Structure 1
Amino acid sequence: MKSLLALTLCAVAGFAQAAASCDVQATEKKLAGAAKTSFLKKCNADNPAAAAGNAACDAAAAEKKLAGAAKNSFLKKCNADGGPGAAAAPAANDAQASCEAKAAEKKLAGAAKTSFTKKCVADAAAAK
């Protein structure tokens, strides 16, 4: 009985790990540069579902014409949410991406960026 429980826990842990996108895993491991590139290449090859999610998010970022920090932030959130078709409303995603782009233009970071983006999204929602 104990071995069945252990096997079940291992299977659940494996599914949970597979569900996390490769970008999120790389961020958690604090990888950068060549190490990150190598890890992402292997992770995406080992997990085709994660690669498909990454491609969908990349396409959504390209459609929104995002670049730099705004693109990186969008991709991180998109991959963590499970892709561009996730539960969040499209208008909310557009407002979020737009506000993140504005914050990047102003070169905001940390708490200032978070505060600016939160207020910007709230203002956009109130304007509708």
Structure 2
Amino acid sequence: MKKLIATLGLALGLMALPVLSQAQGTPQQSRMAQCNKEATGKTGEARKTFMKECLASKPAAAAETAKP
């Protein structure tokens, strides 16, 4: 019975890892997501150029361009 409980606990813990890692995204991941959202509709070289500039810019500048 103890092995069953330990196995279930381990399985639940492993299933929770992806949820926890998504909730604690890094600033780089946040910037990538924001730039990706702003690049909607762009394709090819235009998207590549936009993403390069967006990711290279400072976070405050990216946030200002996102405001309507």
TM value normalised by structure 1: 0.28
**Which protein has greater RCO, CA pairs closer than 8 Å, 6+ apart?**
2
* Structure index of larger Rg: 2
